[in-house]
């Protein structure tokens, strides 16, 4: 927990470029949660049993439940949460449009691999944030082991029952990764403030090209580890 | 709050017919919440703004959040929540299939009028339950004023902007009521245990035909009051 500070004493408030970047970041993370809700809620239609449906619906609700605190922080920074989210709507919709699951197992893999990738990326960015915003972003990550246990367990069950499915889901995982990179690239190109968060500023350390490369390698390795957890090649 | 009782001391446990009826009732209420989640989550696609979308998504999550306590009570009564819900899946799906909103305002009216009707019915039934189950059923009702304020406010805004809409929505409200009665009739015909809850048993008071009629009148009056709240004829 952070101690309460008056707005004037908030170190964040002293740098308008930083504030703009943080508002952007909180906008993208919170829209990501709204979007995850929509997609998971939609994928409940693919659930083969009522139990699976309820498990996925509960995940959707958990994602949505994180939005309130993120919006409160955006407001505390003097910005409007809906304006902050608006620039990212198209990117998320494009991602989901290009990665609509054809069936239940594709939906499960997407929930595990896609959200895992987003979380890894937010965790990397969190290192460059003020403590209060960092705590908030880290709290919005999916650390729930029950969730991961359910997703991994169900995917493995489905593959065990139908081994050729493994080949199809491995390709699906590659496609999710590819689409995520395409959309992340779009955000980086459109939102200078966000890229500046990573590359630093006059009085703020950032990443050089080598460090950005290392970060990218870490993200790829964690993606491969998740695919392996599902019993899939990456 | 009820005081903890051992299973043997639970008065509910002494009457197998009553337990079967309560499990049925908790099954129908909890499946109703899952179904409300699905429908509200689906209707977020019709939302004209991101703010409207988030408001509806939040309502969906609130409905789903009530399922856990209802399922815990079903388990405490020695039954399986998913088996308890299963018999009612078809009825809810038929209701939603026949009342799929054509647009955003129909979705809002359905959320207000449909859930209000269901809540009124559960409140009537709650009077015939043991205190612990009654508290649980009453807690699952939508007493949130913010929710009602949003729904009523948005429908009134839309009608103000397009007065002929009022005529269409009035017909829509009648259709919702008609479909709800058709499906309630199906449940009453299929589930003797539930009707026995209302009509009573050897050592349990119930409603005679006149009292059932009065109850029906109350439900109709409350529906009319909700329609009037929206500025619509019923």
Q: What is the ipTM of this complex?
A: 0.80
Rounded to an integer, the average pLDDT of A156-179 is 94
Mean pLDDT of chain A: 88
Residue B177 phi/psi, 5° resolution? -65, -45
Q: Which residue of B has its CA nearest to A62?
A: B61
The yes-or-no verdict on residue A11 having pLDDT over 60 is no
Q: What is the pLDDT, as a whole number, of residue A161?
A: 96
Q: Please check the confidence at residue B12 and state whether its pLDDT lies above 70.
A: no
Would you list which residues of chain A are within 8 Å, Cβ to Cβ, of chain B? 34, 37-38, 41-42, 44-45, 49-51, 53-54, 57-58, 60-61, 64-65, 67, 82, 85-86, 89
Between A212 and A32, where is the model more confident? A32
Place of tokens 């970041």: A25
Residue A202 three-state SS: coil
How many Cα neighbours within 13 Å face the side chain of B64?
A: 26
> Residue A143: its pLDDT value, please?
67
Q: CA B7 to CA A27: how far, in whole Å? A: 50
Residue B65 has pLDDT above 60, yes or no: yes
Interface mutation target, options A36, A48, A57, A97, chain B, most CBs of B under 10 Å: A57
Which three-class secondary structure state does DSSP give residue A204? strand
pLDDT number for residue B161: 96
Give Rg (Cα) of chain B: 18
Higher confidence at residue A144 or residue A169?
Answer: A169
The radius of gyration computed from the CA coordinates of chain A, to the nearest angstrom, equals 18
**Interface contact flag, A85 B34, Cβ < 8 Å:** no
What phi and psi values does residue B102 have, to the nearest 5 degrees?
A: -80, -20
Please give the average per-residue pLDDT across B4-29, as a whole number: 74
Helix (H) or strand (E) holding B153: helix B145-161
Contact partners, residue A32, CB within 8 Å, separation at least 6: A88, A92, A118
User: How far is A146 from A169, CA to CA, in rounded Å?
Assistant: 22
Name the packing angle between helices B165-190 and B145-161 (round to 10°): 140
Quickly list DSSP for B189-210.
Answer: HH-HHHHHHHH-BTTB----HH
- What is the predicted pLDDT for the residue at B142? 64
Contact predicate B200/B207, CB 8 Å: yes
Q: Which of A56-60, A81-85, B118-122, B166-170 is the least confident region? A: B118-122
Share of chain A above pLDDT 90, in %: 59
The region of weakest confidence among A7-16, B4-13, B67-76, B92-101 is B4-13
CB-facing half-sphere around the CA of B68: CA atoms within 13 A: 7
Residue A4 confidence class, pLDDT cut points 50, 70, 90:
very low
- CB B31 within 8 Å of CB B187: no
Place of tokens 């819900």: B85
The predicted-structure confidence for A179-192, as pLDDT tens digits, reads as follows 998 888 888 888 88
Joined tokens for residue A158: 């489905």
Of all residues in chain A, what percent carry a pLDDT higher than 70?
91
Q: State residue A6's pLDDT score.
A: 44
């Amino acid at each position: 927990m952070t101690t309460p500070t008056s707005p004037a004493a908030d170190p964040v408030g002293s740098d308008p470029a930083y504030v703009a970047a943080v508002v952007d970041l909180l906008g993208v993370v919170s829209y990501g949660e709204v979007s995850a809700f929509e997609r998971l809620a939609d994928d409940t239609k693919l659930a083969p049993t009522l139990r699976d449906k309820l498990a996925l619906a509960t995940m959707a609700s958990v994602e949505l439940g994180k939005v309130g605190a993120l919006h409160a922080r955006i407001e505390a920074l003097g910005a409007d949460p809906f304006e902050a989210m608006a620039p990212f709507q198209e990117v998320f919709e494009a991602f989901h449009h290009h990665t609509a699951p054809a069936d239940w197992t594709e939906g499960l893999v997407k929930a595990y691999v896609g959200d895992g990738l987003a979380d890894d990326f937010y965790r990397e960015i969190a290192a460059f944030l003020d403590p209060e915003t960092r705590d908030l972003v880290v709290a919005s990550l999916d650390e729930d082991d029950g969730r991961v246990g359910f997703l991994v367990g169900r995917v493995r069950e489905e593959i065990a029952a139908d081994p050729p499915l493994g080949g199809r889901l491995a390709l699906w995982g590659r496609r999710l990764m590819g689409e995520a990179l395409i959309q992340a690239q779009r955000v980086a190109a459109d939102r200078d403030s966000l890229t500046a968060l990573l590359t630093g500023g006059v009085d703020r350390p950032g990443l050089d090209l080598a460090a950005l490369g290392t970060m990218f390698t870490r993200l790829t390795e964690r993606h491969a580890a998740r695919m392996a957890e599902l019993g899939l090649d990456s």
